[in-house]
Amino acid sequence: MADPTLAKRLLDGDRRALARAITLVENDRPEGWELVREVYPHTGSAEVVGFTGPPGVGKSTLIGALTAARRAAGRSVGVLSIDPSSPFTQGALLGDRIRLTDHFLDPGVFIRSMANRGALGGLSEAALQAALLLDAAGREDVFVETVGVGQAEIDIIDHADTIVLVLMPGSGDSIQALKAGVMEIPDVIVINKADHPLTDTMVREIRGVLSLANLDRTPEEVRGSWRVPILRTEAARGEGIDELVAALDQHAGHIREQGQLQERRRRNLRNEVLAIATARMRRRLEEELREDPEFKRLLDEVVERRLDPATAATELLDRETT
């Protein structure tokens, strides 16, 4: 049974309640899921912005500067830092977090790191649940940050209303080296550490890749009539942040006007429901099979190389459904 006062305290914006709630969700506790169910009707007002990009481009510094700007405008902010990919980056991540310490004492800012994938359905689902909790707790801006843009990272920020790709010039990574498809992700591109001789070249390259990507489909189909802005920032000095705030507000307004916000959220929530359902199906299957002599026999055949894994999976499913 969940703490009956937790939901109420969360909805009142209590920081401890929020921290406790996210931990429950991160650890895949039933009380966590119950809590999300209880507060879910109070969600949907936060503007959720996802940030991705290679390590070292200054995403945390950028989010720190953005947080300061939002606070100056009187808005409350929640920050989720998600690191799905590598234990080796943890040191760097902790270092980066220091950029956010300016805000540690401000009750209007709530910062949380997540790395566990304990939650049902994985880190992506846990991150969405945590974002919902921040939303329910009255955070007006929710910033979700991931390291890298592998599929795991994309799944996480895919739940955001607006997606920002952060790059830096002269990092040795040419734009052409980015995998196909990466440029279809962002609504806004930021070149941070833009005080660099190669910035102009980089902007041109990005523009080129973006227009190439649009060649084979009409822009309207991709993201309405939105033209992805390429902004230049020096987040450590606070430069370009006003422009970024303006671009985020413009994008938020744009998708609301075009009815895209509703559609995006519908698609994201659909994926979320399917991901949770799939995770539960797998769990149920594993439980059913634990002591199942027929599954043991199938596995024996696989181990003895008489039956390949895919065919064994098919036989398993055929049996389940008959």
Angstrom distance (rounded) from CA 258 to CA 226: 10
Q: State in angstroms the smallest separation of the CB of 53 from a second copy.
A: 8
Q: State in angstroms the smallest separation of the CB of 217 from a second copy.
A: 20
Count how many residues are written for the chain: 322
Q: Which is nearer to a second copy, 40 or 226 (CB)?
A: 40
Q: Which is nearer to a second copy, 6 or 132 (CB)?
A: 132
Residue among 36, 160, 189, 241 that touches a second copy (CB under 8 A): 36
Site for a second copy in 246-265 (CB under 8 A): 262, 265
Residue 285, interface with a second copy (CB under 8 A)? yes
Residue among 117, 138, 214, 260 that touches a second copy (CB under 8 A): 117
Q: State in angstroms the smallest separation of the CB of 5 from a second copy.
A: 20
Task: Identify which range of 64-72, 101-109, 238-246, 268-276 contacts a second copy by CB under 8 A.
Answer: 268-276
Task: Identify which range of 104-112, 142-150, 206-214, 220-228 contacts a second copy by CB under 8 A.
Answer: 142-150
Residue among 15, 266, 288, 294 that touches a second copy (CB under 8 A): 266
Angstrom distance (rounded) from CA 157 to CA 124: 8
Among 102, 38, 34, 93, which residue's Cα sits nearest to residue 68? 102
Q: State in angstroms the smallest separation of the CB of 170 from a second copy.
A: 13
Tokens 């305290």 belong to 9
Give the single-character DSSP code of 195.
-
Give Dmax (Cα) for the chain. Answer: 67
Residue among 50, 78, 84, 169 that touches a second copy (CB under 8 A): 84
Residue 117 · residue 51 · CB < 8 Å: no
DSSP-H helix ranges across the chain: 4-11, 15-26, 30-39, 59-72, 90-97, 123-136, 151-157, 199-215, 219-223, 241-257, 260-289, 293-303, 309-321
Q: State in angstroms the smallest separation of the CB of 278 from a second copy.
A: 4
Residue 169 · residue 191 · CB < 8 Å: yes
Residue 235 · residue 64 · CB < 8 Å: yes
Residue among 11, 68, 182, 236 that touches a second copy (CB under 8 A): 182
Q: State in angstroms the smallest separation of the CB of 156 from a second copy.
A: 13
Backbone φ and ψ for 22, nearest 5 degrees, come out as: -65, -40
Q: In sequence order, what are the beta bridge partners of 111?
A: 79
Residue 101, interface with a second copy (CB under 8 A)? no
Give the single-character DSSP code of 239.
B
Angstrom distance (rounded) from CA 232 to CA 64: 16
Which pair of tokens denotes residue 316? 């398993």
x-marked contacts with a second copy along 41-70 as a string, rule CB under 8 A:
xxxx--------xx----------------
Q: Which is nearer to a second copy, 67 or 81 (CB)?
A: 81
* Triad 122, 166, 212: Cα angle to 5°: 100
Residue among 286, 291, 293, 322 that touches a second copy (CB under 8 A): 286
Q: Angle, to 10 degrees, between the axis of helix 30-39 and the axis of helix 15-26?
A: 130
Q: State in angstroms the smallest separation of the CB of 273 from a second copy.
A: 5
Site for a second copy in 195-214 (CB under 8 A): none
Residue 293, interface with a second copy (CB under 8 A)? no
